């Protein structure tokens, strides 16, 4: 992968912890507005990393309003080649207990009011998404997961819902029938945009509780329930940080044989010659490699 810098996008929980880790923040302008926050550049385990807390400092963006395009663009701008993302989820399966980690391998995208492509004017591009997460990153995270002292599931289907409300019980039961393992609100369009930006991307889901398909044991009050969820999130966050730290050196050293870095090669349908100057400039950070390759 030869990732000179590894991006970490932290969701609820991890994002807040990452903000306290320190580092140097850099201001980045993007054609899609401001990212959730200026990326923080730091060094972990001898590896250069860039952090973005997905919901912004102080959790100001709810899942529908996260500036996903600006975040991925900003990561690419600071030299990131591979992104390890995390996000809080509900579990749809009994064996995936709160506090475990899931290195997802599939997604069902139910979101409907988010900009999900960089190529919304002037250029038509259709990237391949049958494997929405980078197989190399997933394998390296799974390997790192073998050496940590907690439960890591090496695959799982992430159902991405719009939110911000949670599911009804009927929906939750349906998501189980669809084959969902965890449900969250942020993996999409992040994974799609990372593919369009030719970045490797993996998602570590942090189950904080069982989704509402499963009745709660006893009848805890809402305060007790919230406390339990926060406790599970904190535990999963600690586990995710341990897993990410452990995986960084091998991700940084690995060869990028996964194909994510050439995702646009067969995907762009628009003739370069018909692009306006404005669109050419706008898309150059994503498409210059592709244009150069065609000329070679
Ligand atoms: Zn990859």
Tokens of 268: 């762009």
Domain range list for the chain: 5-295
Q: Tens digits of per-residue pLDDT, 268-279?
A: 999 888 999 999
CB atoms within 10 A of CB 75: 29
Mark whether 151 is an active-site residue.
Answer: no
Could you say which of 151, 211, 223, 271 is catalytic?
211
Q: What does the buried/exposed string (b/e) look like for 6-25 if buried means 16 or more CB atoms within 10 Å of the residue's CB?
A: bbbbbbbbbbbbbbeeebeb
Name the DSSP letter for residue 216. P
pLDDT at site 1: 45
pLDDT > 60? residue 258: yes
Across residues 11-16, what is the average pLDDT?
74
| 223 CA to centre of ligand 1 in angstroms | 42
pLDDT at site 272: 87
pLDDT > 60? residue 3: no
| 130 CA to centre of ligand 1 in angstroms | 13
| 48 CA to centre of ligand 1 in angstroms | 18
Mark whether 209 is an active-site residue.
Answer: yes
| 241 CA to centre of ligand 1 in angstroms | 21
Are 111 and 162 in contact by the 8 Å Cβ rule? The answer is yes
* 5-295 to CATH, choices 1.10.150.530, 3.60.9.10, 3.40.50.1580, 3.40.50.2300: 3.40.50.1580
Across residues 230-235, what is the average pLDDT?
90
CA-based torsion, 45, 48, 54, 60: positive or negative: positive
pLDDT at site 219: 65
Across residues 207-233, what is the average pLDDT?
85
Helix axes 277-295, 68-77, angle to 10 degrees: 50
């Amino acid at each position: 992968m030869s990732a000179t810098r590894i991006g970490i996008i932290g969701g609820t929980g991890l994002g807040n912890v990452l903000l306290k880790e320190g580092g140097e923040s850099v201001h980045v302008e993007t054609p899609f507005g401001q990212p959730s926050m200026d990326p923080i550049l730091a060094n972990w385990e001898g590896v250069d990393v860039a952090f973005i807390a997905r919901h912004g400092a102080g959790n100001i963006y709810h899942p529908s309003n996260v500036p996903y395009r600006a975040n991925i663009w900003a990561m690419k701008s600071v030299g990131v080649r591979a992104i390890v993302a995390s996000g809080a989820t509900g579990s749809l399966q009994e064996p995936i207990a709160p506090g475990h980690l899931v290195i997802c391998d599939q997604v069902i995208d139910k979101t409907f009011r988010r900009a999900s492509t960089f190529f919304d004017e002037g250029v038509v591009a259709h990237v391949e998404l049958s494997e929405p997460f980078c197989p190399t990153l997933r394998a390296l995270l799974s390997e790192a997961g073998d050496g940590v002292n907690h439960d890591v599931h090496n695959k799982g289907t992430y159902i991405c819902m719009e939110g911000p409300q949670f599911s009804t019980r009927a929906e939750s039961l349906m998501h189980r029938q669809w084959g969902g393992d965890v449900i969250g609100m942020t993996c999409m369009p992040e994974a799609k945009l990372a593919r369009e930006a030719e970045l490797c991307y993996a998602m570590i889901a942090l189950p904080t509780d069982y989704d509402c398909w499963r009745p709660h044991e006893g009848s805890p009050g809402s305060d007790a329930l919230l406390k339990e969820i926060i406790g599970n999130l904190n535990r999963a966050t600690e586990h995710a940080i341990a897993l990410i730290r452990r995986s960084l050196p091998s991700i940084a050293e690995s060869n990028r044989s996964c194909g994510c870095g050439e995702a646009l090669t067969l995907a762009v349908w628009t003739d370069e010659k018909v692009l306006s100057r404005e669109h050419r400039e706008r898309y150059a950070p994503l498409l210059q490699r592709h244009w150069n390759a065609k000329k070679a």
